[in-house]
Amino acid sequence: MSTIGKDPLGTLSAASNAESTAADRRYVFHSWSAQQLISPLPIAGGEGSWFWDNEGNRYLDFASQLVNLNLGHQHPDMVAAIRAQADVLCTVAPPFANDVRTEAARRIVEHAPAALNRVFFTNGGAEANENAVRMARLHTGRQKVLAAYRSYHGATSTAITLTGEPRRWPSEPGAPGVVHFFGPYPYRSAFGAATEAQECERSLDHLAQVVQMEGAHTIAAIILESVVGTNGVLVPPEGYLAGVRELCDRHGILFIADEVMVGFGRVGEWFAVDRWGVQPDLLCFAKGVNSGYVPLGGVLISDDVAATFAERPYPGGLTYSGHPLAAAAAVASIAVFERDGIVERARRLGEEVIRPALEEIGRRHRSVGEVRGLGCFFAIELVRDATSREPLVPFNAAGSDAAPMVELMGECRARGVWPFSHFNRLHVAPPLVISETDLHRGLEAIDAALVVADRHAAG
């Protein structure tokens, strides 16, 4: 990779990239990886929307690491809050009350949909989904949970079974009681829909049929990513989430909104369900609640579900539930969001900068099939043929089949931009605090890099 320049602080690590990578490979076992086939880039530091390696190569973080770094690297308010809390109390067991944990819960509830008035804290998103399903089953006395095929809910036992995409396969048969269905995806409709309205109607009819065939009285919950994240940035058509809510109400099924990736401003709302005015029974969050500065997740719980455990013990818990350092980071993050109008800023950047730029990019590149998204969360769907919509790489591509996307990502990184990719899609998910100058710079780099994808496209 080309050396772009020294980091903004003018400091470099004494170790070279090669030395750091060799040490990493000697001791660290990486997730989702064949250990001998990877060469992780060492990250020496970061500031704002940028990070850099040991040799001064700088990258614009267009993935927000794993779509969690909403306030960017090393935000001074976040760092100060963690330091201040460390001076007071570094850890406390969950059975005790703790003011900073309480304050984090209060602030989260303050911005949550109405009637979600309690928070069960976890260490991350997978644990949040695990516990939400447990709560739903205990509350309803039912066992089945419906989840979409195009989804990712985490890598723990129940969460990976809920997951609809191929990362689920090696863990099968998995936890019992999970049934998958097709959610809306207008660009690649499973229902032959020609319009978003048709896609909404037909996907809801499909879900209603699944409920009927599985037996509504056996179903505890339907879990959905309010906006599907890793599997395509699939924004639900108008009326879909409301239709799911109505279906759940009709049959006494709980609606679980998985907002681990899209909560806390990512799509220009505090929570994505706010855009459609839909009230879930349980809402799972993590990532953006404190930008991952210290691991934190949780479940927002409706009053009705919370009442189930008023005099009946909830059979679940975590040693680090509501960890004070993580809670302090959440309190500081929400304060920054409120003070600096971060949610509104993300919405504006999406509509005034990202969407227009990506739509123009789409008109210039024959490999771009569709651009979609909200706020600071967009996907570029890449195709070999715009008419047939054949994906640039096959579903779950690996090895040589994945070469066009590997080449494209390499070109982006060579231009100093680090986006997120999955299958045949390039995702644009920068920190919500990114400057407009840097945002344009990153979009221009992607525009230039897409020439690589165009080589594989017809026309």
| Mean pLDDT to the nearest integer, 281-308 | 98
Domain boundary among 324, 340, 356: 340
Check the CA dihedral 235-31-66-136 and report its sign: positive
List the domain range (segments joined by +) for residue 423. 17-74+342-454
Residue 137 sits in a domain of what CATH number? 3.40.640.10
Residue 401 lies in a domain: yes
Given this model, what pLDDT does residue 459 score? 76
Measured CA to CA in angstroms, residue 84 lies from 90, 233, 326, 328 at distances of 10, 37, 12, 9
H-helix segments, 163-264: 196-214, 240-251
Residue 3 lies in a domain: no
**pTM for the model:** 0.95
Q: Is the pLDDT of residue 38 over 90?
A: yes
**Nearest residue to 237 (alpha-carbon basis) of 182, 184, 181:** 184
Domain boundary among 305, 340, 375: 340
Angle at 351 between CA 347 and CA 357, to 5 degrees: 130
Same domain flag for 191 and 263: yes
pLDDT, averaged across the chain: 96
Residue 11 lies in a domain: no
Reading the block at residue 40, the tokens are: 């992780």
Residue 6 lies in a domain: no
Report the distance separating Cα 237 and Cα 245, nearest Å. Answer: 14
- 3-state DSSP call for residue 172? coil
pLDDT in tens, 227-274: 999 999 999 999 999 999 999 999 999 999 999 999 999 999 999 999
pLDDT in tens, 56-69: 999 999 999 999 99
Check the CA dihedral 428-339-126-310 and report its sign: negative
Same domain flag for 62 and 87: no
| Mean pLDDT to the nearest integer, 68-73 | 98
Given this model, what pLDDT does residue 14 score? 55
Which element (helix H / strand E) includes 107? helix 99-111
Give the number of domains in the chain: 2
Residue 459 lies in a domain: no
Given this model, what pLDDT does residue 10 score? 43
Same domain flag for 102 and 189: yes
Report the distance separating Cα 248 and Cα 349, nearest Å. Answer: 34
pLDDT in tens, 156-171: 999 999 999 999 999 9
| Mean pLDDT to the nearest integer, 379-398 | 96
